[in-house]
Structures are given as C-alpha cells and as structure tokens.
Structure 1
Amino acid sequence: MERISLSNSAFEGDNNAYLFANGSETVLIDTGDWMPTTREQLEAAFADRGLELADVDRIFLTHWHHDHCGLAGEIQAESGAEVYAHAADAALIEGDEDAWDAMYDRQKRYFEEWGMPEAKQEVLLDRMTDGETTVETPTVTRFEDGETFSVDGTDLEVVHTPGHAAGLSMFEAEIDGRRVVFSGDTLLPVYTPNVGGADVRVDRPLEKYLRALQGMVDADYDRAWPGHRDPIDDPTGRAQYIIDHHEERSWRVLDALDRTGPCDTWTVSAELFGELDSIHILHGPGESYAHLEHLEREGTVVREGREYRLADGVSDELAALEAERWSLEY
C-alpha cells in the first residue's frame, strides 16, 4: 500500500489517495478532487509506478465530499473500475438529482432555522457554486457497515462512522502485522472534522460522531491513514483528544447562552467563532447546531422556536463550576 498526496486548497490540507498495486489488481481508496491539477498529480503518481488510471480495477470511497470522490467517475469511465461507497452516500456520488435537490432543500431550511443572515447565505451559495462544472459521476456499488473486501490479500472491513457525513466509512485492515484504519475524515491529524454543517442529512450528528470516536478508542489501532495530511501514529490518543475537545466546546456553548440569554444558532456561532466567511459560514453554525441539539436532548438546553436557552438551574451550576475552578487555580 502506498499513500499518494494530492493538492487541496481547503484548510484541511492535502488529500490522500491510497494505492494497492502489489498483486493482481489495482485498487484505490479515495481519488482526490475532480480538479485538472489533481488528476495530473494522480496520473503522475501512477506513471512513477508504471501504471495508468485505466489500470484501476476497484475504488473504495470513504464518503461523498468531492475532494474524496471527485475523480471516481472519470477513472471508472476509462478503466471500467467498480466504485464502492456506503449506501447512505451512493446517490449523491452518482449525481442523483432528487438526492441533491433534497440536500439543497434541507440546507435552506437549516439556514433559516439557524438564523443565518440573507447576505451570508448569498456569500455561502457563491462559495459552494464557485467553479461549478459538469463532473463525470460513477455508478456505485453500495456497501454497509461490517462488510469485508479482499484487496491483494488484505481484508478491508467497513466501519461506518456517520457524523461528518451520513455515509462516512473507514476501512480497517491488518498490514505488516499492524492493525490500521483508513480513517477518511473521521479522524484527521490537525483539524477536527465538521459535524452539523458538512452534511445536514445526519440526524443527531454529534452523538453519532462521538460514538464513532469512542469506537476508535476502543479499537486501539496501531496507525490511522487519514483522508488529509500525514498518518496518525497514535489514533487512540487523537480520538480521545477530539472527544475532549467536543466536551470543552459544549461547555463553551453553555457559557455563550449564559452570557447572551435566549438566542438562535447563528448568535451562538458568532460567540464561538466570531465573524465567518467562505465555507465557514456553513461550518460555524452547523457545528453550533450539532452541540445545541445534543445539549437539548441531554436536558441542559431548551429550544423554543428558533431560540435556545439554558434549562432551569444550569446557570447556577455554571457559576458554581466557575467558582470551583478559580478556587483550584488560586
């Protein structure tokens, strides 16, 4: 197995495609974006190994986001490769108009529910459609959690980890005697994957993502090969760090409501992240919504229409915790 690094202008850092080509077939996990420069990089990496994209037999996709599946259609058209993805994401990857219309409609409803200003919605729409072009889409073979595929003698087991995306899946394997996982965007080495905004189809996004992270802690893999940047040598520690990060963010959400009083998601987002631009206009309130929805089900936050407030007694608990923190520090 070899990691191929592919450029990505987004903040997550360079994408990774993983190549299996030491046996009777040529297999990719993720393809990178559909941009011409990405294709040129992937073609060059293949050429260095005496291969062409037409040699690809199978492609396994971690999820529907274009920087992971963008070239799947083009490669399939050239090679006849079979393209696999989780059933929850397959229709979007195939370019199904009904699936995309439902996505856009749900996004619009959430933008209104979150209190996103009209001007910000326009900026976000421009960002999301910037450079929009016709992309070759693949025919997808659907898989589900727990399915196993043999690739050059290595078994890849699907581990469904929704949160960042409805169909987001990892592939667990044993390579050179080590338990590893191709983690896609479930576990990244620098950034914490956005939940709530990156795929508005996911119900209870934070709950599902935290469950996925706890599963990684319990699995205690030796290494994670992520969808962006460098490999993660302590995936257990990184997963626990992100769990703790979301715990801390939940406290920040409660503190924001304590300071502002009842308010909408956009206001909480501003308290957490400040002024937002570009794709962060989606990610900021999306992340805030994920936490507010999670806290509402836990009973510490109450929703009334589009506004959220602290449940009775929570403000006093926050004050007591703050007083305890100060006493411990001083």
Structure 2
Amino acid sequence: MHRISLGNTVFEGANSTYCFDGESTVLIDTGVAIDETRAELESELAALGVEFADVDAIVLTHYHADHSGLAGEIQAESDATVYAHPADAPLIAGDAGAWEDLEATQRRLFEEWGMPEPAREELLGFLRMSESEGIYGEPVDVTPVEDGETLSFGVGTDERELELEVCHTPGHTAGHICLVHDEEIFTGDALLPEYTPNVGGADVRVDRPLEQYLRTLEIIADGGFDRAWPGHREPIDDPAQRARRIRDHHEERAFRVLSALESSEPADAWTVSDRLFGDLSTIHILHGPGEASAHLEHLTRTGALERGDAGYRLADGVEERIREREDGRWPL
C-alpha cells in the first residue's frame, strides 16, 4: 500500500489518497478536482507505474470534494468501479435532486441557527465559487456498499487477496465509511491526527450528528486496530487513544457550550458559535454554528438544556452542576 499526500488549497489541506497495486489497482479516496491536485496525483501514481487508466476500483470514504472530486475523471479513463455508502452515493453521483435537497436543508438551518444575512451571503458566495470551480469533478457511476460488506480485489503485491471490510461510521457525513484491512483501518475524516472532524455543519443531513459521531468513535476505540490511515496528514499509531481524546474534546466542548449559556438569556446556535469560536469566514461559517447546533441538540435531548422560541437555556440545576465540575468537561 502506498500513501500519496496531496495538496488541498480549497479546504484544510494535506489530503491522503491510498493506492494498492498488484493484480488489481485500488484507490481509497482521490483528492479534490482542481488542476494542482490532479497533476500531483498523476505524478505520484506515475512514480508507481500507474496511470488513471490502470485503476480498477475506487473506494470513497464520503462525498466531500476533497475525497471524491477526481473519482469521476478516473472512472471515465479507466472504467473503474467506484464504491460508496448509499447515504452519500447520490451526492457523489451528481444527482441534482440530492444536491437541491441538501442545499434546501442548509438554507432552512441557516435561518434556524440565527445566521445573520451578511454571514449567510459570504458563505453562499464561497460555496458558489467552489461549485463554479468544479471541485466535485465529473459525475460518478457509484456502486453502493453496506456496513459489514467485504470488498475483494484480487491478488496484491504480497501475494494475498486484498480485502477491505466496510464499516459505516456516520457523523461527519451521513454515509461516511471506514475500511478495515487486516489490523489497520482507513478512517477518512472520522479520525484525524490533528483536527477534530466537524459534526453538524459538514453534512446537515445527519440526524443526531453528535450522538452518531460518538458511536463512531466507540467503534474505532474498541476495534483493536494497530494503526489508522486518515484522510488527511500522517498515520495514527494509536487509533484507540486518538478516538478517546476526540471524545474528551467533545466533552470539553459540551462544557464550554453550557458555560456559554450560564447566567445569560436564551441563545440560538449562531450566538453560541460566536461565543465559542468568534468571527468565522468561508466554510467555517457553516462549520461553527453547525458544531454548536450539534452540541445544543444533544444536550437538549439528554436534559442539560431546554429549548424554547427564544433559543436554548440551561435546564434547572445545571448551572450549579457546571460550577461543581473541576475537570472542564461535561459527560456525554
């Protein structure tokens, strides 16, 4: 297996594509569909003796452009089979109705979150510009894969059949998957070495995003994996420890969300986001209130918050419990 590091000037940078070569050539994720990334991927594959036309299969961890963007172009040159989870497949395929539904949900939530008009206009301008640059690439003929399914791809360079077990790991997106190979796991954006993956804004279609993502972290932490290969940056040598640290981070964030509502009037998601993250720009205008909303929704369902017409407020007795906690965390 070869890890190919790709630049990414559109989002958070340093994507990773993984190439298995042998009897079958298989890619996990492809990078964003911009000229610089395309040239990098072609060059790195050429160093392995591989061209786009040689690719037999592509497995996509999720629909975001920095992971799926070049899949359509590679498929057009190679007739590769492209696999993705059914929840993300319509977006990867470029289904107009699926994209319209996503955008309609975003606009409804912008209103619900209390996003001001100037911020909304800046975000929509950024999204329109990204779309006009074609970062999602060409439409893809997607073969859906389900949780627990094993994909087999012929003999690899170690003379064994390459097998990738699909593990549905929603939260960051509705159809996010990880791929298990022997004692290692390819985690896409479910587990990253530096950043904590966004939940709530990264895919507004996800129901109960924080709850689902916490379950994903449990799957990774309990999997006994020797190493994780993430969708950005360097491999993670202790996936369980990293998964638990990200859960700790969300407990710290939950504490900050509750503290932001301490001794104050009810507030909407945008106001809480501002108290947590301050001024935001470009894609973070979506991710900030989305993350805040995911926590507010989860804390409301678990009884720490109440929600009324004016927004979210602390439930009775929670302010005293916040002051009693010395670890700066709220158990989730």
Match of 2:168 in 1: 160
Would the aligned equivalents of 1:114 and 1:306 in 2 still touch at CA under 8 Å?
no
Q: Please tell me whether residue 18 in structure 1 is matched to residue 18 in structure 2.
A: yes
Give the alignment's TM-score, normalised by structure 2.
Answer: 0.93
Within a 5 Å distance, the mapping from 1:128-147 to structure 2 comes to: 128-131=127-130, 132-134=132-134, 135-147=137-149
For residues 84 and 33 of structure 2, the distance between their equivalents in structure 1, rounded to whole angstroms, comes to 17
Query: 1:52 Cα deviation (Å)?
Result: 0.8
Quote the offset at 1:55 in angstroms: 0.4
> Matched residues in 2 for 1:91 and 1:310: separation?
39
- 5 Å matches for 1:210-289? 210-289=214-293
The structure 1 residue matched to 2:300, chosen from 285, 296, 300, is: 296
Give 1:312 shift: 1.1
Distance 1:133 1:204 in 2: 32
- Structure richer in helix, relative to its length: 1
Q: Percent identity?
A: 58
Q: 2:311 aligns with which of 303, 307, 321?
A: 307
- Deviations 1:306-326 (CA, angstroms, capped at 9, x unpaired): 50001111112223336x98x
Size of the aligned set, in residue pairs, is 319
- Secondary structure of the corresponding residue to residue 262 of structure 2: helix
Aligned position for 1:328: none
Q: Offset at 1:10?
A: 4.8
Distance, in Å, in 2 between the alignment partners of 1:78 and 1:160 is: 29
Q: By how many angstroms is 1:285 displaced?
A: 0.3
Provide the C-alpha distance between the structure 1 equivalents of 2:45 and 2:16, rounded to a whole number of angstroms: 14
**In structure 1, how many angstroms separate the alpha carbons of the residues matched to 2:239 and 2:321?**
34
Coordinate RMSD, CA, aligned: 1.4
Residue 13 of structure 1 and its aligned partner are, at CA, apart by 2.9
Map of 2:206 onto structure 1: 202
* Amino acid in structure 2 at the alignment position of 1:140: V
Distance 1:98 1:305 in 2: 32
Write the deviation string for residues 246-295 of structure 1: whole angstroms up to 9, x where unpaired.
Answer: 00110110100114331111110011001111111111000000000000
Partner of 1:149: 151
**Over 4 Å off, 4+ runs:** none
**Structure 2 counterpart of 1:111:** 110
The answer to whether structure 1 residue 82 and structure 2 residue 81 are counterparts is yes
Rounded Cα–Cα distance in structure 2 between residues aligned with 1:257 and 1:90: 39
**How far 1:186 moved relative to its partner?**
0.3
Instruction: Extract unaligned runs of 5+ from structure 1.
Output: 326-330
